[in-house]
Structure 1
Amino acid sequence: MGVGDVSKRILLGRKLRSSQLGETLLPKRIALPVFASDALSSVAYAPDEVFIMLSLAGASAYVWSWKIGIAVALVMAAVVASYRQTVHAYPSGGGDYEVATVNLGATAGQTVASALLVDYVLTVAVSISSGAQYAASAIAPLSGHEANFATLMVLLLMAINLRGIRESGTLFAIPTYAFMVAILGMCAIGLSELAAGTLPQVESAAYDIEAAPGYGDAMTTVALMFLLARAFSSGCAALTGVEAISNGVPAFRKPKSTNAATTLLLLGAIAITMMLSIINLADQMGLKYVDPNDLDRLTIDGKPVPADYDQHAVIAQMARAIFHDFPVGFYFVVTVTGIILVLAANTAFNGFPVLGSILARDGYAPRALGSRGDRLAYSNGIVFLAVMAIILIQAFNAETTRLIQLYIVGVFVSFNLSQLGMIRHWTRHLRTETDPAERRRMFRSRIINTIGLTFTAVVLVIVLLTKFMAGAWITILAMIVFFIIMRGIHRHYDNVNLELAADEEDKVLPTRVHAVVLVSRLHKPTLRALAFAKATRPNVLEGVYVSTDPEATQRLMQEWDDRNLGVPLKVLHSPYRELVRPIVDYAMEIKKANPRGVVAVYIPEYVVGRWWEQLLHNQTALRLKGRLLFAPGVMVTSVPYQLRSSQLVREREERLGSWTRPTEYRLGNVPERDGTDRQTPR
């Protein structure tokens, strides 16, 4: 085990066997924070976006905030009820992608997959960016460095998830539950003070909001409806993450579907309660909240706020007011909110790799995304998601308000196609089902999915109308790009499978094998390659040397004759001192002379142990192999010769490997001295 392997074990933990996959499954108490943290954390920024949109018409438009909150809550309830049907009908973990593919066809499935992939990336970018904003409001030195801080948080989440889903879930459970206690506790205290008439005002209550140009008292009814639609579409960001549970059913303990449906119900109830409580309390506490880029519309006594005014997030303002005599409560709420916003991205880190593995299995994504890492997590998918999210964070400077415009388009596309697919699913099964009780259950499920489709279709239309020019077009473009890439990957794999399919001609053996051993000097690597080539018993065997220096060529030919190797030496003259092209041309001439034959090229190679030695050796061999791989009918074989430095590296690795020997003994994987393997009973 090398230094790199030791470092990997320290960071990720010891490897897990494939048979240990069952040990990574999650109980409901851990699954809730793992899969629901995204939807729960949305209450930290969805209300902010509702108030920002309404502020365009001035503070008077805040009277609509609670009605918009109820509308969002109704949509969330419909979506949660719909996905409870999905987890029972499709417990394999394909979620929206599987539902759309099975019931609506491959094109619909690819559309859903592209939408979900984009949404998962945006989930990480939005959640981490929002958490960075909260951290900057609490820690002054972070102000102005939110993007870099967010990037570090993404890398930290990536490292944690590479350790495995169970480890990340256990680690995230405490802050997620702390967030629930903090928000629900703050709202409970605020509602009790509201009932007693002692509810305090937030810090921005003394300010006023000037309407944006085109809004205000002169605003038409159509403009008001459009404004309310924009606020509603922004508030629907609270629905993101609901679909993650349907994609993560395989990660639950048995009974998987029942546990996933129960977790989904808990998620919906908690998220709706939090969101409605925050929106109503914030309005009652006199909140004035505008776009951070339009702070000049926030005034006091008719004058704009100072240039250095720091507008705190909605939850931060509420916590400061409610816990004005208890600063510990304020810091607790702000801290756990910032943490949950960072951890909310963990929902995507669990959903994206699973979806990527399913797409890889179906041939729509690189097969590397379907491979589990040392800790049984889909490591390549985790790393790819982190890289894409970091690019977005840096491109938009971790500004949540800018990123939120790209959000929820993809998730509502998948919502709609998934609900339509479920309606088709129940309709198809009703044609063959005869049991009355089962038919009644299917009818009820179809009605629930129909209601969900109606709600999500309305939201999707509103989102497209209100957010398209504000940035949603970028999301749609990204979905199209992912769709085209997936189609191209699938086409490539199909073409490869067709080319690789065995037929009757593959039974025909080559008529002859013409073996060529490349010679640079007559030394140990060359002699080993000649010996190996002889052992394969080719029809023709010869050494091939490229001559660029007459004197060196003469010396080699003399030494070759002196050793009497019994193998002819072919000298290829290269007047332009090229080494690769003469060999390739010679191999192709042999193949052309005997089309049914095979040319076997043996390349002696040095094996070195130090990285800098790689730069000093094997460059010609590497280029030659790269050229010969594209030559039909030419087989390339590397014959390694280990130099002293490679032996030193191997000895060092053996010494380092002894560090883990006690663990190996505990696991019962160490061979006995007589050479037999001893397996400790478990």
Structure 2
Amino acid sequence: MINRFKRLLIGRPMKSAEIEGEKLSKLKALAVLSSDALSSVAYGTEQILIVLMVAGFTAVWYSIPISIAVLGLLFILILSYRQTIFTYPAGGGAYIVAKDNLGVSSGLLAGGSLLIDYLLTVAVSSSAGTDAITSAFPSLHDHRVLIALMMILFLTIMNLRGITESASVLAIPVYLFVAAIFLLILSGVIKYATGGIHADVPEIGTVVNNISLFLLLKAFSSGCSALTGVEAVSNAIPNFRKPADRNAAATLIMMGSLLGIMFIGISLLAYWYGIKPNPKETVVSQIAAITFGRGIFYYIIQGITALILFLAANTAYAAFPLLAFMLAKDKYMPNMFMVRGDRLGFSNGIIVLGLFSAVLVIASKGETENLIPLYAVGVFIPFTLSQLGMMVYWLKRRPPRWGSRFLVNTIGMLTTLVITLIFIFTKFSQVWLVFLFLPVVIFIFYYIHQHYMNTADQLRINVQTDQPHLKGSTIVVPVAGITRVVMNSLSYALSLTDNVVAVYVGFDDEGIERMEKKWEEWNPGVRLITLRSSYRSIIKPLLKFIDTIEWKTAETDHITVLIPQFITKHWWQHILHNQTSLLLRAYLFNQKHVVIATVPYRLQR
């Protein structure tokens, strides 16, 4: 039943040879890997306006030069990551670049920051999508956490079905969103140009008395949240069809062009329309309502915007498992992240991403603004490390025309470093958790790596000198009575060796005598040892007996504890019986250097 339900959810298992069919074309990759960046136009401008409103409505004209500055940074990042794609075509982005050129610690800092960023991507996207829905339907505002969790569950299941299938489904709303925003921008510009807008807005250049450089920098850093997701393409190059690097570079350019046009378009309309941030209604919702009225076009744009904000999380579902795979391959994350699931995706990474992002949504109560500063600083740290790593790469290797490439990465590094510092100084009260969490993550990386190295040292053999030691075998069979389960276990034990001993633990002399008499009548050809337990514990007398056997025969025999166990026909019947065999196995695993085996006997009804 469970297997049928699994097949219904994620589909049939795929052969390993089908992996090439799971690679993405440019159009599908743009939908999967750019949804995060493209969707940020729905809240990037709003984050700028929220900060500027502290200085009053007169300060909203600053949103235009700030938006232009954000576009300049976007241009630098696109050029920089395009170089990274061709230099590191195997993918991995900031983690690989920093690790190879700046050292392991820098690489882990970049990798840990990106993992946190991808978790926040899912949480922010689902929360922002919920905001778009509640803007159109205010009665749903109190249910925003539940709505966000339902969408995270949907995306998790879709990605477990495979990246190609999820891309085919999710590409449609992504391109509908791009078309809808372009339609909104075009209609809004026409309405403004023809005099259809009569908003009383401050002219660009108007003096604002209580504005400060600190406030402007804070607004700029908030607007840079629109650039999150730009790095996803360079991280996921292995997901592209061949030639992967060229297709990835082309996708990056397309993403940057669309993002730049949509972002500046929304910022201009927000200024021309005199939009003020509203906790109950997004900026895009207000623009659409003024442009089209609250008719069919308004609800179409709101529906598509909500959908793309939800689906922006899909960028993380494509990039997080791949980054986790690379860290696991380098022994900094558990090996389970290297395992491909039935649909050839890294399903463990997908599931972990879904679970942790759901926890973040619940913890933040679905409030997007509480997550965006953490979200943005988590990605600008890898931005900076990636650019610095590429600078070191050009200086060390100095290929033809390396000077211009070095200059691009230098400008990128300095710019993203400044943004990172602005985030830290202007929003420290909101982002300080990152600086507690990142060292913990890096410590965990090192701890996992040390464990794998220690394990390898202890398991490694010298094929020239190390050979198996030939020993005899002593089998100990704990018995609770004379049953078919015990008979089945003794039959198996005797097929392996003649040196078999059965052990019975009794709580009183009468019970022990009764067991010895029955055993003698049955006479299975195996010696019975009876032990008395004064404290009604079966485990401790058995462990003491095994200690004695171990001390006497460890040099000459392998000691095996063969545990009889019956298996009920139905899972619920299992809870009707005591779990002594499970408890005994757990104790032996943790405390004894013996072989532990279970002989199952299956009940038929």
Measured against the shorter chain, the TM-score band is over 0.9
Residue 490 (structure 1) aligns with: 449
Maintained 8 Å contact 2:560/2:597: yes
Residue 403 (structure 1) aligns with: 371
Residue 657 (structure 1) aligns with: none
Alignment of 1:244-263 (within 5 A): 244-263=232-251
Maintained 8 Å contact 2:373/2:423: no
For residues 585-643 of structure 1, give each alpha carbon's deviation from its aligned partner in whole angstroms, at most 9, with x where no partner exists: 11112112334243211111101121222123360000000011123431111111111
Match of 2:431, SS state, is helix
Identify the match of residue 599 of structure 2 among 639, 647, 658: 639
1:481 Cα shift? 2.1
Maintained 8 Å contact 1:18/1:376: yes
For residues 231-276 of structure 1, give each alpha carbon's deviation from its aligned partner in whole angstroms, at most 9, with x where no partner exists: 0000000110011111111111111000000000000011011111
Q: Establish whether residue 313 from structure 1 lines up as the match of residue 311 from structure 2.
A: no
Q: Give, in whole Å, the separation in 2 of the partners of 1:240 and 1:609.
A: 53
Identify the match of residue 521 of structure 1 among 477, 481, 498: 481
Query: Match of 1:464, as an amino acid?
Result: I
Query: Match of 2:197, as an amino acid?
Result: P
Residue 590 (structure 2) aligns with: 630
Q: Give, in whole Å, the separation in 1 of the partners of 2:269 and 2:313.
A: 27
Q: Establish whether residue 282 from structure 1 lines up as the match of residue 280 from structure 2.
A: no
Query: Would the alpha carbon gap of residues 510 and 629 (structure 1) be closer, same or farther in structure 2, given more than 3 Å must change?
Result: farther
Alignment of 1:487-636 (within 5 A): 487-503=446-462, 507=467, 509=469, 511-537=471-497, 540-596=499-555, 597-617=557-577, 619-636=579-596
Residue 468 (structure 1) aligns with: 428
1:550 Cα shift? 2.9
For residues 281-306 of structure 1, give each alpha carbon's deviation from its aligned partner in whole angstroms, at most 9, with x where no partner exists: 2111222226x3xxxxxxxxxxxxxx
Q: Give, in whole Å, the separation in 2 of the partners of 1:560 and 1:182.
A: 83
1:583 Cα shift? 0.9
Maintained 8 Å contact 2:95/2:107: yes
Q: Establish whether residue 163 from structure 1 lines up as the match of residue 161 from structure 2.
A: yes
Identify the match of residue 264 of structure 1 among 242, 245, 252: 252
Maintained 8 Å contact 2:58/2:201: no
Query: Match of 2:213, as an amino acid?
Result: M
Q: Give, in whole Å, the separation in 2 of the partners of 1:407 and 1:5.
A: 37
Residue 130 (structure 2) aligns with: 132
Maintained 8 Å contact 2:124/2:372: yes
Q: Give, in whole Å, the separation in 1 of the partners of 2:397 and 2:208.
A: 55
Residue 340 (structure 1) aligns with: 308
Maintained 8 Å contact 1:114/1:480: no
Q: Give, in whole Å, the separation in 2 of the partners of 1:48 and 1:286.
A: 12
1:377 Cα shift? 1.5
Residue 147 (structure 2) aligns with: 149
Residue 444 (structure 1) aligns with: 404
Maintained 8 Å contact 1:412/1:459: yes
Identify the match of residue 65 of structure 1 among 21, 41, 63: 63
1:392 Cα shift? 1.4
Query: Match of 1:28, as an amino acid?
Result: K
Structure-2-length-normalised TM-score: 0.95
Identify the match of residue 299 of structure 2 among 307, 331, 339: 331
Alignment of 1:663-678 (within 5 A): none
Q: Give, in whole Å, the separation in 2 of the partners of 1:78 and 1:191.
A: 27
Alignment of 1:349-364 (within 5 A): 349-364=317-332
Identify the match of residue 121 of structure 2 among 120, 123, 132: 123
Residue 397 (structure 2) aligns with: 429
Residue 658 (structure 1) aligns with: none
Residue 197 (structure 2) aligns with: 200
Maintained 8 Å contact 1:606/1:617: no
Match of 1:191, SS state, is helix
Residue 187 (structure 2) aligns with: 189
Structure-1-length-normalised TM-score: 0.85
Maintained 8 Å contact 1:184/1:274: yes
For residues 369-394 of structure 1, give each alpha carbon's deviation from its aligned partner in whole angstroms, at most 9, with x where no partner exists: 22111111212211111121111111
Q: Give, in whole Å, the separation in 2 of the partners of 1:454 and 1:217.
A: 29
Query: Match of 2:290, as an amino acid?
Result: A
Identify the match of residue 388 of structure 2 among 420, 423, 427: 420
Q: Give, in whole Å, the separation in 2 of the partners of 1:511 and 1:125.
A: 57
Q: Give, in whole Å, the separation in 2 of the partners of 1:553 and 1:629.
A: 28
Q: Give, in whole Å, the separation in 2 of the partners of 1:446 and 1:592.
A: 68
For residues 136-183 of structure 1, give each alpha carbon's deviation from its aligned partner in whole angstroms, at most 9, with x where no partner exists: 111233122111211111111111111111111111111111111111
Q: Give, in whole Å, the separation in 2 of the partners of 1:391 and 1:543.
A: 50
Q: Give, in whole Å, the separation in 2 of the partners of 1:459 and 1:570.
A: 75
Match of 2:591, SS state, is coil
Q: Give, in whole Å, the separation in 2 of the partners of 1:634 and 1:369.
A: 31
Identify the match of residue 232 of structure 1 among 214, 220, 223: 220
For residues 473-526 of structure 1, give each alpha carbon's deviation from its aligned partner in whole angstroms, at most 9, with x where no partner exists: 112222222212212211222222222222588535254422212222222221
Query: Match of 1:628, as an amino acid?
Result: L
Query: Percent identity, aligned pairs only?
Result: 39
Aligned residues: 599
For residues 636-677 of structure 1, give each alpha carbon's deviation from its aligned partner in whole angstroms, at most 9, with x where no partner exists: 1111111113xxxxxxxxxxxxxxxxxxxxxxxxxxxxxxxx
Maintained 8 Å contact 1:606/1:618: no
Query: Match of 1:11, as an amino acid?
Result: L
Q: Which runs of 5+ in 2 are unaligned?
A: none
1:452 Cα shift? 1.2
Maintained 8 Å contact 1:96/1:247: yes
Q: Give, in whole Å, the separation in 2 of the partners of 1:195 and 1:563.
A: 102
Q: Which runs of 5+ in 1 are unaligned?
A: 209-215, 293-310, 434-438, 646-682
1:60 Cα shift? 1.2
Residue 665 (structure 1) aligns with: none
Alignment of 1:206-225 (within 5 A): 219=210, 224-225=212-213
Maintained 8 Å contact 1:588/1:631: no
Match of 2:474, SS state, is strand
Q: Give, in whole Å, the separation in 1 of the partners of 2:121 and 2:459.
A: 40
Q: Give, in whole Å, the separation in 2 of the partners of 1:445 and 1:575.
A: 80
Match of 2:118, SS state, is helix
Q: Give, in whole Å, the separation in 1 of the partners of 2:44 and 2:434.
A: 19
For residues 8-43 of structure 1, give each alpha carbon's deviation from its aligned partner in whole angstroms, at most 9, with x where no partner exists: 111111111111111111111111010001000000
Match of 2:89, SS state, is coil
Match of 1:615, SS state, is helix
What RMSD in Å do the two structures reach over aligned CA positions?
1.9
Q: Give, in whole Å, the separation in 1 of the partners of 2:78 and 2:522.
A: 82
Between 587-596 and 279-288, report the one with greater CA deviation: 587-596
Query: Would the alpha carbon gap of residues 369 and 508 (structure 1) be closer, same or farther in structure 2, given more than 3 Å must change?
Result: closer
Query: Match of 1:316, as an amino acid?
Result: S
Match of 1:516, SS state, is strand
Query: Match of 1:271, as an amino acid?
Result: L
Between 178-187 and 474-483, report the one with greater CA deviation: 474-483
Q: Give, in whole Å, the separation in 2 of the partners of 1:569 and 1:207.
A: 96
Query: Match of 2:147, as an amino acid?
Result: F
Q: Establish whether residue 390 from structure 1 lines up as the match of residue 387 from structure 2.
A: no
Maintained 8 Å contact 1:207/1:288: no
Query: Would the alpha carbon gap of residues 575 and 632 (structure 1) be closer, same or farther in structure 2, given more than 3 Å must change?
Result: closer
Between 489-498 and 63-72, report the one with greater CA deviation: 489-498
Match of 2:371, SS state, is helix
